[in-house]
Amino acid sequence: MGGGKDGLRVVGKAHRKIDAVAKVTGQTRFADDLSLPRMLYCKLLRSPHPHARIVRVDTSKAAALEGVIATLTGADLPTPFGILPVSQDEHALASDRVRSVGDPVAAKRAWRGRPTWAAFATGPPSKGTFSAAGEARPP
């Protein structure tokens, strides 16, 4: 088999990472570094609540912002998807409830720069409305 005293050539040996120098010197290009003509940027609005019912998602203020091309909510993407059998009911954007902090609730696409949600806030869990562009609204 060859190798060291135990016949091992890889396990237990130090090996140089091929891309390490390029990464630490900033030469490696990642997907976030790319900028192409007519490229749109997308920003997800994520839930700050660990478990909450979505009463309504208001994207009107976000849609009115300069450069915003489109907004999406769970209602726009009703078809579940899933790669693994355990995730066949997964949705791209939450439509009726969020089950953990960080669940995506809405998305917007814009031309310039990386879009941000202006002062996003929500009301109490199960009572407020996700407002994609600003203030919390009671149901």
Domain boundaries, given as residue ranges, for the chain: 35-131
Its pTM stands at 0.60
For the segment 112-123, what is each residue's pLDDT rounded down to a tens digit? 654 454 433 333
* Helices assigned H by DSSP within 28-106: 60-64
As a whole number of angstroms, the distance between CA 30 and CA 28 comes to: 6
pLDDT given for residue 21 in this prediction = 93
As a whole number of angstroms, the distance between CA 118 and CA 104 comes to: 16
As a whole number of angstroms, the distance between CA 84 and CA 67 comes to: 37
CB atoms within 10 A of CB 80: 12
Confidence of residue 49 (pLDDT cuts 50, 70, 90): confident
Burial class of residue 74 (count of CB atoms within 10 Å of its CB; 0-12, 13-18, 19+): buried
Query: Higher model confidence: residue 138 or residue 130?
Result: 130
Residue 22 scores a pLDDT above 90: yes
**Kind plus residue range of the DSSP H or E element containing 21:** helix 20-24
What's the CATH code, domain 35-131?
3.90.1170.50
Closest CA to 48 of 101, 97, 92: 101
Which two structure tokens, joined as six digits, stand for 136?
């919390």
Q: Are 114 and 40 in contact (CB under 8 A)?
A: no
